[in-house]
């Protein structure tokens, strides 16, 4: 079914190690869409606590070169954070799930950036967080996020707050991330990111790698354009293949850069 992975009976719900991949994609004809937290780097209790190792930096630079710069980091983080963390990466950076972008040196944001609606949302949520200091509140140019990793007992309350705001504004929706909820413009999605970039990268085979619910749209976007998706970790997914964790992603990307390896189909 797939030109790059000749797999029979693969179960998307049971991750397999990246070292078992049957075939390395032709990077000169690929378009890579890579999530950041939980995919390229380990998820941390606080977004500022992540660590980047030199091996990953070298690997991403090599992938950028091998794909002719058709490699995009597609993250929920703000674009300025990505640029700070990846100052050497001169490829495409997508921030805030697609609300911000840097493509070919040009910057763009969605029209909702700084709108009256998002500013009102920020005032309401900012006031609520003052009474719940264990919840990390993240403001972005066109969205906002509540991270409850340090306060899992507030999961439902965080969701109810953002759901209530979204009900009063049809142009906004709530995205479920890994231990977080985010209020985003409805037009923004990683699936749309793939669609937009595949106009520029037409003819390439898109490959998307991500780890949580916000990446499911990116997976569908890759499949929409004749490519495939790889999920990191457990959980229901539309992805075609799965890996166990971040270390398997690193192993996979290293294999792609250095040469082919074999994959054992997962148990039926």
Q: Determine the Cα–Cα distance for residues 194 and 206; give it in Å rounded to an integer.
A: 8
Given this model, what pLDDT does residue 130 score?
A: 95
The per-residue pLDDT of the chain, averaged, comes to 86
Selected residue with higher pLDDT from 54 and 29: 29
Domain with CATH 3.30.70.1020 in the chain: 116-185
Q: Where are the beta strands (DSSP E) in the chain?
A: 30-34, 71-74, 92-95, 100-103, 106-109, 136-139, 144-147, 172-177, 180-185, 205-210, 228-232, 241-243
Given this model, what pLDDT does residue 93 score?
A: 98
Q: Determine the Cα–Cα distance for residues 105 and 107; give it in Å rounded to an integer.
A: 7
3-state secondary structure of 107: strand
Taking only the tens place, the pLDDT of each residue in 150-206 is: 999 999 999 999 999 999 888 999 988 888 999 999 999 999 999 999 999 999 999
Integer-rounded Cα Rg, in Å, for the chain is 18
CA 216: distance to chain centroid?
9
Selected residue with higher pLDDT from 54 and 154: 154
- Paired residues of 14 in beta bridges: none
DSSP per-residue letters across 167-201: HT-TTEEEEEETTEEEEEETT--HHHHHHHHHHHT
Q: Give the architecture-level CATH label for domain 116-185.
A: 2-Layer Sandwich (3.30)
**Model confidence band, residue 37 (pLDDT cutoffs 50, 70, 90):** very high
Question: What CATH number has the domain spanning 18-110+189-258?
Answer: 3.40.50.1000
Would you please indicate which residues are annotated as catalytic (active-site) residues?
A: 35
Given this model, what pLDDT does residue 178 score?
A: 80
- Paired residues of 268 in beta bridges: none
The stretch 20-26 carries a mean pLDDT of: 59
Pair of tokens at residue 155: 């999961």
Q: Which of 165, 177, 225 is nearest to 199 (CA)?
A: 225
Given this model, what pLDDT does residue 265 score?
A: 37
The stretch 226-239 carries a mean pLDDT of: 92
Domain with CATH 3.40.50.1000 in the chain: 18-110+189-258
Place of tokens 């909702």: 112
Taking only the tens place, the pLDDT of each residue in 90-124 is: 999 999 999 999 999 999 999 999 899 999 999 99
């Amino acid at each position: 079914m797939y030109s790059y992975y000749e797999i029979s009976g693969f179960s998307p719900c049971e991750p397999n190690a990246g070292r078992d991949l049957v075939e390395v994609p032709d990077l000169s004809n690929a378009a890579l869409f890579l999530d950041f937290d939980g995919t390229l780097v380990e998820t941390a209790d606080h977004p500022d606590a992540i660590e980047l190792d030199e091996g990953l930096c070298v690997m991403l630079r090599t992938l950028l070169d091998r794909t002719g710069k058709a490699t995009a980091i597609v993250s929920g983080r703000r674009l300025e954070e990505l640029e700070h963390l990846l100052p050497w990466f001169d490829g495409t950076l997508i921030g805030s799930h697609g609300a911000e972008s840097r493509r070919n040196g040009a910057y763009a944001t969605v029209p909702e950036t700084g709108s009256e609606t998002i500013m009102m949302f920020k005032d309401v949520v900012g006031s609520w967080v003052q009474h719940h200091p264990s919840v990390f509140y993240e403001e972005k140019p066109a969205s906002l996020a509540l991270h409850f990793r340090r306060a899992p007992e507030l999961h439902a309350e965080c969701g109810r707050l953002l759901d209530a705001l979204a009900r009063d504004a049809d142009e906004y929706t709530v995205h479920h991330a890994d231990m977080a909820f985010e209020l985003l413009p409805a037009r923004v999605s990683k699936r749309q990111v793939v669609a937009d970039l595949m106009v520029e990268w037409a003819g390439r085979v898109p490959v998307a790698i991500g780890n949580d619910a916000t990446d499911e749209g990116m997976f569908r976007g890759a499949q929409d354009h004749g490519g495939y998706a790889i999920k990191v970790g457990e959980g229901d997914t539309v992805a075609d293949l799965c890996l166990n964790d971040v270390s398997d992603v690193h192993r996979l990307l290293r294999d792609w850069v250095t040469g082919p390896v074999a994959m054992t189909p997962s148990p039926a």
